[in-house]
Structure 1
Amino acid sequence: MIEPLRDVRSYRLPVEVVEPLRRGLPEVAVQTIAAIVMEVPAYAEPFAGELGHKIERAVQAALGTFLNLVSRPGTDPGTPLASALEAAYALGRGEARNGRSLDALLSAYRVGARVAWRELAAISVRSGQPAGTIADFAELVFAYIDELSAASVAGHADELAASGRIRLRHLQQLAQALVAGEPAHVLQAAAERAEWAPPQTLTAILLPERSSRSLIDLLDPRTLPLAGALPDLPGTAILLVPDPQGATRPHLTRLLTGHNAVIGPARPWQRAQCSVERAVRVHQLHTPARGEVVDTEEHLAELVVSADRSALADLRDWALAPLAGERGAAAAKLVETLRSWLLHHGRREDVAAELFVHPQTVRYRMARLRELYGEKLKDPQWVLALTIALAVPLAEG
């Protein structure tokens, strides 16, 4: 069974072993840096120039801390390892901030450990240390490097987690600014802060929050989610999806099938608020149900005629005034027939098919409408007014 490396904190080396090593530290640091630069390409540039000298001093300090640690008197309660671990932790965080991977960092530790041990062992051999002492020393060197590696790994992971949380917060702030319709310079600054590459267009999708969480991973990675931004539609989330135009829009519709979604129009990314507002209006006109996907592009005429609902109601009252004397059910059937007659340009068979009645019934009702309206049904202005007034069914007005 392989025994674990001993605890570097508890082991002590004699002073006569440590002193030759301490004198050789500057050259050991130089050799360690040279090996890392050669064997770990990610560090070739960072270690060049003045920065290389600073890192060289840091390596020398780390090795010096190690020698201080293993040469303390047995009764010394101090913990010189703490400062080295803090430095290693900070190094890991710095590497994450600079975009370098954990692989490069761990490779540098492995190379550094090998070269440092080789150089320090050579010094020990020249100073006449016995093989057993040198073997113990090797074990301590690698245990120390393992401690530093673990601290750097923790720092790297913590920095990535922290920066990930910060970026998510910035992305949420960007989505809020887009939905609020903030000025272009505010949106541009928010996008840069979130490290978000703006697309040409954004399309707003309204859907239940639970659906948004399951779908977002299937969409463009730049998709911006926002929940709780629509007080009048509780439980509804907004997804701002980049560039779902042309052939990709039908694909998006298929992807949303079963999720009670409303798809807004594509708009330049800084005008995403316009897409959200239209999607909200269509949602109010046609709340999707039973997995339906409602595309706002299919309801443009209805949006136009219902833009001013008060004016539409007044127009209906005026246009339907000739029917004021008709009783409830009879009036409703006449309005229904007039609407279909206008939409089908007077084609009796088409009107009958839509209303599921006999063509003779259509003929009878139209005769009654002509009695009530007279020549108005031939007047283009009246026909236009009636078409607009009845474009949206009365039940939805």
Structure 2
Amino acid sequence: MPTVVGLDPAVAEALRARLAEVADSAVVSIIEEVPSYAGAWSGRMGEVIRNAVQLALGGFLTLATRQDADAPKAPAIEGAYQLGRGEARNGRTVEALLAAYRIGARASWRDMADAAVEAGVDASQLARFAELVFAYIDELSAASVAGHTDELESSGRVRQRNLERLARALLTGAPADAINAAAQRAGWEPPGALTAVILPESQVSHAFTALDPGTLQPTDDVPGLPEGLASLLVPTTGSATSRRTVLRALRGTDAVVGPSTTWLDASGSHRRALRCAALGLEGLVDSDDHLAALVLGADSEARADLRARVLAPLADLRPSTAEKLTDTLRSWLLHHGRRDAVAEELFVHAQTVRYRVGQLREVYGDRLEDPAFVLDATLALA
């Protein structure tokens, strides 16, 4: 700001005497002409704006009476910066803020110019005075824009971190009151349901472009999640249509999609997606299509023990014979004893099936008709 005015102290004092009047006029003009500030005069915001304008004008008058171009402006610049941050917190756009500066500068210049002329300022000094006014306003508005930008970036980072914490609380099954508090801190509106999705970290960016904007992702480690995989929580309605939409959005990925649950029970969806991912299936996997496999794999050790107990009567046979009879028993159970269906599945003649089933009856006896044994054998061999 190279311009130097060097106002006579008497002129500066005359202008300072009208400072409150000029500030009020500027605030009224801003409130009347900038829609975002409509109705602000009677509230706290009106007082904030009025004080900011007075601080700016007071700083300007101090500057205008100095003989050097590098007079300190720190208080006014800092005030403008904080004003910008406050306006961002109040939800006003940077465009509205700049419009307020433009209109406030115009109104302030009009009133201050009138006062300066009345105080005897000559034309050449008045021209320098105008140049200084608008250069000063440019600096203040730039500081306010910087404050506005910094506040948005800061609040954006804070909200993102709160969303990440909410996601982790949901995935780890935190208490409902803690989850509700986390959602409020993040400003996140709970959906009708949530669906957990597990996919490679390399595919997360692609998924985010196609999924609901409210999708959550924790960045901290999630217990039980294998390295290289990421967890997402996708807002849904819980309907079949909503689920199909999620599956369509994830086409081309290796995502595992858990069931839709109420949002507070999202950890259940995540646990099932994890178990489904452990099955080693390839491509896009809908966990709803693999419920039987999930049930059978829920306790692999128990299933191995059950299999060993079911097949114990075959242990004394030759390995090749035991293997053939095991395959026949499995197919016979799954096809409910339909000999032709068993023969088709095993690629053998129906008479061969009849012979093998006879062998099984010799080994197992009446147990083949016992519902409890049939259930155990079906689960063990399925």
TM-score by structure 1 length? 0.88
Q: Secondary structure at the match of 2:198?
A: strand
Selected match of 2:305 from 314, 329, 333: 314
Q: Could you tell me which residue of structure 1 aligns to residue 361 of structure 2?
A: 370
Q: Could you tell me which residue of structure 2 aligns to residue 216 of structure 1?
A: 208
1:112 shift after superposition: 0.2
CA offsets, 1:268-296, max 9 Å, x none?
11111111111111222x2233xx12222
Cα gap change, 1:50/1:226 in structure 2, threshold over 3 Å: closer, same or farther?
closer
Matched AA of 1:186: A
Matched AA of 2:40: P
Q: Could you tell me which residue of structure 1 aligns to residue 135 of structure 2?
A: 143
Q: Secondary structure at the match of 1:205?
A: strand
Q: Could you tell me which residue of structure 1 aligns to residue 166 of structure 2?
A: 174
- Kindly indicate whether the alpha-carbon contact (under 8 Å) linking 1:260 and 1:288 is maintained by their aligned counterparts in 2: no
CA–CA distance in 2 between the matches of 1:123 and 1:257? 71
- Kindly indicate whether the alpha-carbon contact (under 8 Å) linking 2:31 and 2:40 is maintained by their aligned counterparts in 1: no
Q: Secondary structure at the match of 1:224?
A: coil
1:174 shift after superposition: 1.1
CA offsets, 1:103-158, max 9 Å, x none?
21111101001111111222233344333332222221111111111000000110
1:364 shift after superposition: 4.4
Cα gap change, 1:107/1:354 in structure 2, threshold over 3 Å: closer, same or farther?
farther
Q: 366-375 vs 262-271, which deviates more?
A: 366-375
Residue 97 (1) aligns with residue 89 (2) = yes
Cα gap change, 1:245/1:128 in structure 2, threshold over 3 Å: closer, same or farther?
same
Residue 241 (1) aligns with residue 234 (2) = yes
Q: Could you tell me which residue of structure 1 aligns to residue 180 of structure 2?
A: 188
Q: How many residues align?
A: 379
Q: Secondary structure at the match of 1:259?
A: coil
- Kindly indicate whether the alpha-carbon contact (under 8 Å) linking 1:312 and 1:389 is maintained by their aligned counterparts in 2: yes
Q: Secondary structure at the match of 2:99?
A: helix
Gaps of 5+ in 2: none
- Kindly indicate whether the alpha-carbon contact (under 8 Å) linking 1:29 and 1:60 is maintained by their aligned counterparts in 2: yes
CA offsets, 1:300-348, max 9 Å, x none?
2233333333332232222212211233343223222321222122233
Selected match of 1:122 from 114, 118, 123: 114
Cα gap change, 1:49/1:169 in structure 2, threshold over 3 Å: closer, same or farther?
closer
- Kindly indicate whether the alpha-carbon contact (under 8 Å) linking 1:339 and 1:387 is maintained by their aligned counterparts in 2: yes
CA offsets, 1:4-61, max 9 Å, x none?
xxx15x5233316544433332221121111111111222333214653453243122
CA–CA distance in 2 between the matches of 1:54 and 1:193? 26
- Kindly indicate whether the alpha-carbon contact (under 8 Å) linking 1:224 and 1:241 is maintained by their aligned counterparts in 2: yes
Cα gap change, 1:349/1:230 in structure 2, threshold over 3 Å: closer, same or farther?
farther
Q: Could you tell me which residue of structure 1 aligns to residue 338 of structure 2?
A: 347
Matched AA of 1:85: I
CA–CA distance in 2 between the matches of 1:161 and 1:275? 33
Residue 67 (1) aligns with residue 61 (2) = yes
Matched AA of 2:210: L
CA–CA distance in 1 between the matches of 2:323 and 2:44? 88
1:361 shift after superposition: 4.6
CA–CA distance in 2 between the matches of 1:161 and 1:54? 23
1:359 shift after superposition: 4.5
Matched AA of 2:76: A
Q: Secondary structure at the match of 1:27?
A: helix
CA–CA distance in 2 between the matches of 1:44 and 1:179? 44
Cα gap change, 1:161/1:57 in structure 2, threshold over 3 Å: closer, same or farther?
closer
1:231 shift after superposition: 4.8
Matched AA of 2:336: H
Q: 327-336 vs 195-204, which deviates more?
A: 327-336
CA–CA distance in 1 between the matches of 2:5 and 2:163? 52
Selected match of 2:253 from 254, 259, 274: 259
Q: Could you tell me which residue of structure 2 aligns to residue 337 of structure 1?
A: 328
RMSD: 2.3
CA–CA distance in 2 between the matches of 1:389 and 1:188? 43
Q: Secondary structure at the match of 1:169?
A: helix
Cα gap change, 1:77/1:254 in structure 2, threshold over 3 Å: closer, same or farther?
closer
Cα gap change, 1:233/1:353 in structure 2, threshold over 3 Å: closer, same or farther?
farther
1:297 shift after superposition: 1.4
1:85 shift after superposition: 0.5
CA–CA distance in 1 between the matches of 2:299 and 2:55? 76
Q: Secondary structure at the match of 2:199?
A: strand
Q: Could you tell me which residue of structure 1 aligns to residue 198 of structure 2?
A: 206
- Kindly indicate whether the alpha-carbon contact (under 8 Å) linking 1:230 and 1:236 is maintained by their aligned counterparts in 2: no
TM-score by structure 2 length? 0.91
Identity of aligned residues (%): 51
Q: Secondary structure at the match of 2:78?
A: helix
Matched AA of 1:390: L
- Kindly indicate whether the alpha-carbon contact (under 8 Å) linking 2:34 and 2:99 is maintained by their aligned counterparts in 1: yes
1:360 shift after superposition: 5.0
CA–CA distance in 1 between the matches of 2:43 and 2:251? 59
Residue 29 (1) aligns with residue 23 (2) = yes
CA–CA distance in 1 between the matches of 2:308 and 2:58? 93
Matched AA of 1:310: E
CA–CA distance in 2 between the matches of 1:238 and 1:347? 45
Q: Secondary structure at the match of 2:30?
A: helix
Q: Secondary structure at the match of 2:233?
A: strand
CA–CA distance in 2 between the matches of 1:71 and 1:356? 105
Q: Could you tell me which residue of structure 2 aligns to residue 3 of structure 1?
A: none
Cα gap change, 1:359/1:149 in structure 2, threshold over 3 Å: closer, same or farther?
farther
